[in-house]
Structure 1
Amino acid sequence: MLMATCMFFNIVSFSQTTTSIGAYTEVPEKVYLQLTSKEYTSGQTIWFKALVTDSRDHTPSYLSGVLYVDLIDPNGQIVSHKIIKLTSGIGHGFIDLPESYNGQFLIRAYTQWNRNFGKEFMFKEYITIHELIKQKEENPFGQLRRVQNEEGKVFLSGEIELKETVKTNPGKIKVKLDWGARKDSIWVKRNKGNTYFFKHEIPKELNWISLALDTDERFNYSKTVVLKDDVLDLQFFPESGKMVHGLYSKVGYKAVGFDGKGRKIQGDVFDNKGRKITSFKSNSLGMGIFHLKADSNLRFHVKINSEKTSTAKTLFPLPKAVQKGSVLSIEKTKDKIRLRVISNDLKDSVSVKISCRAVDYYLIEGMLVQGSLISKIPIENLPNGILVFTLMDKKQQPIAERLFYNESGKDELQVELITNKSNYNRREKTKLDIQALEEGKKPSIANMSIKVINKNQWREGIDGFIRSHFLLESELRGQIENPGQYFDKENPGRHGDMDALLLTQGWRNYKYPPKRQGNRFFWPQPRLTVRGVVAPLSSKNKIQKEIDLTLATFGKETSLYSQRTDSLGNFQFLLDDTYGEQIRILLHANNGKKRRKKLSIKINDFFPIEVNYKHNPFAGKMDEMTTTLLKEEQRRKRTDMVFDSLYGVTQLDEVVVEDVRLNPERRELYEKYGKPDVIISGDSLRHKEKKWSYGLYSILLFNYGSEVIIERFPDGFMLAQIPGGPSLVMVDGRLIQKYEYNYVPHMPPGVVENLELIKFAKSFKESYLQVFPETHPMELPAAGHIISINTKGKVGLYSSDKPKPGTLDTTIEVFSPIKEFYTPKYDKPIPVNEQKPDLRSLIHWKPSLNTDEKGKTSESFYNGDVLGDYVIIIEAISKEGYIGYQTKTFSVVE
């Protein structure tokens, strides 16, 4: 075959010499969180480092100075919201986990700027939290069976047995069904005693189904049933999208089991005349490649001969070959990338554009010679990462596309790590010397993190890391199974695995070029920002001129800012760095009392992105590593309890439920709605009142944030919520109506006798309908809470006051508090009563460490008491966007 004459045009054109918004309107940021683990136990802390970069070249971003991090529970509720300060695209933080958390949780992170691009460039990672102290409870779902009647209809039948007394069990209960593609619910009536029997028709093709009890309390129990465990889904992906008659094609394939995970298979390809064409064997993730010559007069199919699919479907048809078309084939040959265009349709010149992350690098043009064009490009001339080869005809119309991963190594940061020893005693100090080098051993100024963990909790070559995220996971839609496998240099088949991945999962899921989504424009946040608008109270009035504003913030220190609106009344304040949960702000229009009365001030309040939690009924399965993790954590907690009982003092939380004397009226309320979980006395509220406090909600906001969340809105309205569900407000035993919620935030604490928090109140749906009668029955919340305010003399709401026109008294969120990772030091003798056994599995966590101009830095830490192997994990990024990763193991011995 002849080598066609080609012309190469280097078309890299973007530059970063300017940081104006206009240059970035179509450039999103990439967000990456390095977590200390992907499996935790309740009560632990999630430590994380955040990196935000330019999506084109991975240079740390200077566009955003604020990052939002959310922890989302299995019910799709945001249970923790963090605001992280970014300095040159780098930040870090933590999330403390309560003892009650259990299940699969979602961590997501995004910048305000990235909201312009939808959810494409949001960081998302599912983690598993195991509840150690959970009491053993029998699942009420008995044996569940798939039954098919004579008519061919399929039913799911089973029993539910509740262990509580008959009096507390309702006559019927609601069961929610979920099988991925659809959700349903059924009402199940009680038979005898505490047993409920059901039989419900389900689609024939279901492979699995999840059931969950829906009660007024909460989702207490759930169970997933596998109906067909031998089901296999096998799909084929010809290179360039189609098999073309008479042309050899590379065909990628992917086999997936009932749980959505890859299944290792092997099989043969046959034509419709029974002739065997070729054989194949997949990798461990069910992916691979085979070759064949397409023929539109034949039909091809695959026969699976793996043992695990012996009772399931074993024959799978390949796509039909088309008569006319073109094939773009890409492969690596030593130090070059070889591209080949073969066509039985095109006769003239063609061109192939090569791009990476929406940046065009080369345009190859040439004439087809005998229907073929071949060209080679040195690997070193192209960047690391996913390349897009686009075949175009002479009119520059795209015909075919191919993704290919280029591993040139030139954009990599080499991290050299040296320890002072390879074996250490218990509690001995480990010293690290580190150097970051670019290509050609050139020292690099870089920022890095250091994580040291017990090796039996390291999923080497499986979990993703900094390199797999920036070069693969962040550029393809959907979840990539075992992303670390494609970058594990100990995996000899990683290049073939990557090619199979891009042929199958990648060809329709590439995120570039990015596109703006939605009609609203989100400005980047270089700092904490207050944006808003000043508007006339009446639509008849108009703002005649720019208005001077004064903003006061009340954090640890009071700060004043001045600003002038534009002609439309818009304003923006850039604030100094402030840390905490929320702070009070006061906005004031400086245009005279008479004019001020005619104005209203609204701020552009932050609202979180809609939650998209994907329920995985097969998540959280226990393997050997998980079992080891739980055993070691249980051992550590037992040891801590024994030590504390001997030498320590257990401190009580500040907010506790106190014993109260119940009068008949209060007793009746408790029977109807439930007993309070938390009682805050009026004296406690008044004791915490400050001179600048502006009512009941301000005291709750700054002192009881763990129990009550105060949500604010642009017009100054505030809403109190107990975490974990919607909350209603009751004053003196009466559920207040919607219009009365305006009066609650500014209630003076002097009239409050106490405040009670009733979590997961009884008959919440009925209570909710009393306040919001227009709610559709299908949209009623399954569970919720009640905030009960009891006033002195039952004076109620009538002593409250509302904000004055021309001012806005509200709160804003600020940067989340910073907490340092605690590492014990054993350089001095320790008193006997402080010699607690050191059973840590996370030995050291340093989220941010900078190298000097020689690329060097150092770090040290003390080991614990657990013998065994440990691994040091370093992730690094340079100001040029080079990415580095290094690991090293050491041992703690007797």
Structure 2
Amino acid sequence: MKKYLYPLLFLFCFSSAFAQRDSLPVTTVVQKAAVSNSEHPIEKVYLHFDKPYYAVGDTVWFKAYLTMDVHLPSAISKVVNVDVIGPRDSLIESFRIPVTNSTGSGRFVLNGTTYRQGNYRIRAYTNWMLNFKTSYFFDKTIAIGNALNKELSTQVSYYGNPDGKGAKPGAKIFYKDKAGNILAGKKVEWRIETNGDVITRGRGTTDAKGYLDVPVEDNKVKNFAGSTIITSVEVAEKKTASASFSLKNAFGAPDLQFFPEGGLLLSNIPMQVAFKAIRSSGLGIDVKGTIVDGTGKVVADFSSQHLGMGKVTFTPEANTTYKANAEFADGSKATVLLPRVVSNGVVLSVNNAQPDNLVIQIASTPAFYEKYKNRVFYLIARSGGTIAYAAQTALTSQTYSAVIPKSKFKSGVISLSLLTSSSDPVSERLVYINRDDNLNLTLSSDKPAYAARQHVAMKLTAKQGAVPSEGSFSVAVIDETKVPFKEDAETTILTNLLLTSDITGYVEQPNYYFNKPDAKKNADLDVLMMTQGFRQFDLYDVVWDKVPRATIAPEQGIDLGGTLRKLNGMPVFRGAVRLIIPDKNYSAETTTDADGNFVFKNVQFTDSSKVTVSARNNPDSRNMKITMNGDIFPSIAKSENVADEIPNIDSVLNTYILNSEKQYKFNQILKEVVIKSAPVIKKVSHNDYSALTGLPAMADRQLSGEMLKGCNNFFLCIQNSLPGVTFDNGNFYISRNYTQGDRTPMQIYVKGMQGDVNYLMSVNPAEVESVEVFFNDGVSGINRMTSTAGVISVNMKEAPKGTPMKLSDLKQLFPDQNIVTFTPKGYIKYKQFYSPKYTVVKSIAVSDLRTTIFWSPNIITDKTGTAVFDFYNSDGRGTYKAIVEGIDKDGNIGRGIYRFTVK
């Protein structure tokens, strides 16, 4: 693998203490770190989307960039997984993206069956990343609005505090109908659900301005994170519409934390202490106040400088407790204790204000100096998982100062660590290096302004300094009038690969630091570095071989593997196994090893392809059983970017939603249809299966087959759609039991026969009549016999009477164990972005209301660093915005923006 080799600079003086028994040479630390990095190379994934938000009915277009180490094109993985996670933290869809030359592309449709208005998460990762938990996953929150058959527009705000202080908590909800009329004096029924269970309910009437107050009784609603307000309001005579509002981030007082530079608040040393104040939503809130000692004496004033962050300087005294008396921008106040003052320690402080150098200072308390006098210490700087700088010194005075040239590093986050000679960390500081070494990407057009539907020819020029760059880029052109968005809040290839992927915690408005940077923004970025943590392994773990070994191999393609055993459990050695993919006219054969294992390497197929694996070509095959290995699905942890969720999508995305309504108007479904006569068709239910006799007559929850229209993978679709049910770690659970810590899974039945999660992957959603959920098994005894809690019954449609049963249908009732037919997750289906060509000037009745005017994930620059592309404008007039992002063959990344006018 191609690596960057950084020169090691030894700054400070050497000491004979270097030879102590607990010492390790700094070269050993560097060598061990290099070995660890070669065994645990860090991959990162970034997704470039065509738009910052969407509406139901849209197609989401994206390109994946896969890098390693200091943003080199990755040579590790050839597959990127992309998951769509719903508002309730459940998996909606999952895709495999093939990677070629470290890039791949895809798209998915936001159909009205699977997607509703709300905030969704898109995460991307490789299997190799699973060795590092979810630390380096790409994770982005995207709002999806809805204008299809919409009767209601709402806006919500929350008030009060559930801790009993001040006003009681509640929600204030504003209603308008689809025409924009205020719904005044309308009856509303509301309820509050927690994980699908109704906790409380009530009724009310909107006031003259269209507002309704919903009280939130905190003695009943104890789990705000899992609770939702659901309302039903009159929109016309005998006609209602529903709207729901999450209480996840509704209540809570602002939080304030203090972070001493280097990690410790040392006595009698001037200290820089950063602070960060956030609302209950996770967004920053301005704060000001004073630092006081134990006697109440004010020792310093402080005030935030950007998004609730700032820093204050004072000299702590030993044996003194300090606290902050703070006042937030919303008028609330708080008293917060600062970290304990330490009289025995050392601090690493950094001045990053100079354009070409880092000014380093190491200061120790008298007690620390006496204990470690003349002992060797190491200063290590890591960038992108690689040691970029190493130095050593002997502690010969309480204060050291030195200068490190920034030319030693590439742009991005570096972690400066001060270590003892046995690699124990004693102080750490994150620093952002900005060397202006990113790609310079320039877009230009053949004209400064255009007419609607006019042809546009554009040129991309990519340079690294003055040298042309060959690279792979993606370009999106959007109608900015219809898709307004704050530039500072953008997630870009620069913000992700250079900043947010290397630090822990949420970063609000990440592009603020990259959008026309100046001295103020650089100072704000340095404060951010003081309040965030580093994602990489501790050097102590690296040096002493405590880093966990990688157990999951990188994917070079799709591998389908399993085990062939005798019915008595013994493995079949050298058994013949055949794989068939009918729609691809593909087949392959392999043999099992001594343990009965087999694998088909790098199989090429797309989503929804049925795959058959058979062992019938073996002697005595009737006594053999195939078991397929399952895919690895990482657990869904709480998002760090929850503050990016938009609670009032109707108002925030109003411009986009109105255009979406016009764009998809032809897709609107007539809601009132009068049927004079129609035969009554009996629907299949659990009552039609003898094995389910004894279940309650009525299911507690039900999902109809109609709701599965447009679903390709039944298993993925129902994970998010079963009300009152939670899916986690390969099992379904009753939500109310799950939240109380009960991990007893539900029993699954398909067509009256016991099944499991793997079997659900083979179910054709078009053949499903309904899915019934039972929170108890009645008098059936199912749960007692299977050690489960609750039942899920998947009811399949019946063929019309008189239709003869096919042999294949009969075999499904009694499947052979030596053959398996299933639908594994394949590669995402490729589709090219459609851009109309208006070559003939004439009047066309259908309006062109596109918001994404052009998208291409495959813009490749040549040796001169240039590429050309063209497209036609839509009917929209105003400002069009072209965004280009990408990476060159040497790992240099860049982003460029170009705007032009359509009159």
TM above 0.5, one fold?
yes
Shift of 1:233: 1.5
SS of 1:582 mapped into structure 2: coil
Equivalences for residues 200-215 of structure 1 within 5 A: 200=217, 202=219, 210-212=227-229
Shift of 1:490: 4.4
Alpha carbons 2:70, 2:383 under 8 Å: kept: no
Corresponding residue of 1:758? 770
Alpha carbons 1:6, 1:375 under 8 Å: kept: no
- Does residue 724 (structure 1) correspond to residue 752 (structure 2)? The answer is no
SS of 2:660 mapped into structure 1: helix
Equivalences for residues 601-620 of structure 1 within 5 A: 601-612=626-637, 619-620=646-647
Corresponding residue of 1:876? 886
Alpha carbons 2:256, 2:276 under 8 Å: kept: yes
Counterpart selection for 2:567 from 537, 557, 575: 537
Alpha carbons 2:684, 2:797 under 8 Å: kept: no
- Name the aligned partner's letter for residue 419 of structure 1: S
Of stretches 666-675 and 260-269 in structure 1, the one that deviates more from structure 2 is 666-675
- Does residue 385 (structure 1) correspond to residue 412 (structure 2)? The answer is yes
Q: Deviations over 1:41-64 (max 9, x none)?
A: 11111111111221x122222322
Q: Deviations over 1:875-894 (max 9, x none)?
A: 0101221111111111112x
SS of 1:633 mapped into structure 2: helix
Q: Deviations over 1:777-817 (max 9, x none)?
A: 99658x98743435747999866464445444444332121
Separation of aligned partners in 1, 2:658 and 2:320: 58
Alpha carbons 1:485, 1:491 under 8 Å: kept: no
Pair 205,587 (structure 1): closer, same or farther in 2 beyond 3 Å: closer
Corresponding residue of 2:840? 828
State how many pairs are aligned.
798
Corresponding residue of 2:743? none
Corresponding residue of 1:236? 258
Of stretches 289-298 and 253-262 in structure 1, the one that deviates more from structure 2 is 289-298
Shift of 1:38: 3.1
Q: Deviations over 1:135-171 (max 9, x none)?
A: 446999999987999xx999879999xxxxxxxxxxx
Separation of aligned partners in 2, 1:435 and 1:234: 46
Alpha carbons 2:557, 2:601 under 8 Å: kept: yes
Q: Deviations over 1:757-793 (max 9, x none)?
A: 236x6x7546799595349999658x98743435747
Corresponding residue of 2:351? 331
| TM-score, length-scaled by structure 1 | 0.77
Alpha carbons 1:173, 1:187 under 8 Å: kept: no
- Name the aligned partner's letter for residue 609 of structure 1: P
Pair 736,42 (structure 1): closer, same or farther in 2 beyond 3 Å: closer
Separation of aligned partners in 1, 2:439 and 2:403: 27
Gaps of 5+ in 2: 1-10, 16-24, 174-188, 206-211, 233-240, 689-696, 726-731, 733-748
Q: Deviations over 1:432-453 (max 9, x none)?
A: 22222224x2222110011112
- Does residue 259 (structure 1) correspond to residue 319 (structure 2)? The answer is no
Q: Deviations over 1:807-856 (max 9, x none)?
A: 444443321211111111122345x5x45222222211111211112222
Counterpart selection for 1:864 from 865, 870, 874: 874
- Does residue 486 (structure 1) correspond to residue 513 (structure 2)? The answer is yes
- Does residue 436 (structure 1) correspond to residue 453 (structure 2)? The answer is no
Counterpart selection for 1:414 from 429, 436, 440: 440
Corresponding residue of 2:18? none
Counterpart selection for 2:84 from 58, 62, 71: 71
Of stretches 416-425 and 794-803 in structure 1, the one that deviates more from structure 2 is 794-803
Of stretches 658-667 and 298-307 in structure 1, the one that deviates more from structure 2 is 658-667
Separation of aligned partners in 2, 1:846 and 1:886: 15
Alpha carbons 2:751, 2:796 under 8 Å: kept: no
SS of 2:134 mapped into structure 1: coil
The CA RMSD over aligned residues, in Å, is 5.0
Separation of aligned partners in 2, 1:123 and 1:574: 27
Separation of aligned partners in 1, 2:377 and 2:524: 30
Shift of 1:314: 4.1
Alpha carbons 2:561, 2:597 under 8 Å: kept: yes
Alpha carbons 1:128, 1:620 under 8 Å: kept: no
Q: Deviations over 1:529-580 (max 9, x none)?
A: 21222223213x454x433433332223x22323233332322212453334
Separation of aligned partners in 1, 2:717 and 2:527: 52
- Does residue 103 (structure 1) correspond to residue 118 (structure 2)? The answer is yes
Alpha carbons 1:4, 1:369 under 8 Å: kept: no
Alpha carbons 1:207, 1:258 under 8 Å: kept: no
Equivalences for residues 216-615 of structure 1 within 5 A: 222-223=244-245, 231-305=253-327, 308-309=330-331, 312-332=332-352, 333-344=354-365, 345-346=368-369, 347-348=373-374, 349-410=376-437, 412-439=438-465, 441-456=466-481, 457-490=484-517, 492-506=519-533, 521-539=551-569, 541=570, 543=572, 545-556=573-584, 558-588=585-615, 590=617, 592-594=618-620, 596-612=621-637
Alpha carbons 1:466, 1:875 under 8 Å: kept: yes
Pair 800,550 (structure 1): closer, same or farther in 2 beyond 3 Å: closer
Shift of 1:502: 1.5
Shift of 1:619: 2.9
Q: Deviations over 1:356-405 (max 9, x none)?
A: 23311222112334312222111111122111111123444221111111
Q: Deviations over 1:119-144 (max 9, x none)?
A: 22222111111111354469999999
- Name the aligned partner's letter for residue 379 of structure 2: V
Corresponding residue of 2:144? 129
Pair 770,890 (structure 1): closer, same or farther in 2 beyond 3 Å: farther
Shift of 1:4: 5.6
Separation of aligned partners in 2, 1:159 and 1:873: 39
- Does residue 87 (structure 1) correspond to residue 100 (structure 2)? The answer is yes
Pair 406,356 (structure 1): closer, same or farther in 2 beyond 3 Å: same
SS of 1:308 mapped into structure 2: coil
Separation of aligned partners in 1, 2:516 and 2:757: 61
Q: Deviations over 1:637-663 (max 9, x none)?
A: 45x67xx9xxxxx999xxxx9986227
Pair 586,501 (structure 1): closer, same or farther in 2 beyond 3 Å: same
Pair 613,315 (structure 1): closer, same or farther in 2 beyond 3 Å: closer
Gaps of 5+ in 1: 161-171, 178-182, 645-649, 681-703, 712-718, 729-733
Corresponding residue of 1:694? none
Counterpart selection for 1:119 from 110, 134, 147: 134
Shift of 1:522: 2.6
Pair 803,125 (structure 1): closer, same or farther in 2 beyond 3 Å: same
- Does residue 662 (structure 1) correspond to residue 691 (structure 2)? The answer is no
- Name the aligned partner's letter for residue 532 of structure 1: G
Equivalences for residues 664-703 of structure 1 within 5 A: none
Counterpart selection for 2:828 from 795, 799, 816: 816
**Identical positions, percent:** 21
Shift of 1:210: 4.4
SS of 1:121 mapped into structure 2: coil
Alpha carbons 2:775, 2:789 under 8 Å: kept: no
Counterpart selection for 1:31 from 34, 42, 45: 45
Pair 883,274 (structure 1): closer, same or farther in 2 beyond 3 Å: same
Shift of 1:299: 3.7
Separation of aligned partners in 1, 2:401 and 2:75: 42
- Name the aligned partner's letter for residue 871 of structure 1: K
Separation of aligned partners in 2, 1:511 and 1:525: 23
Shift of 1:608: 2.6
Shift of 1:326: 0.7
Corresponding residue of 1:889? 899
Separation of aligned partners in 2, 1:390 and 1:212: 48
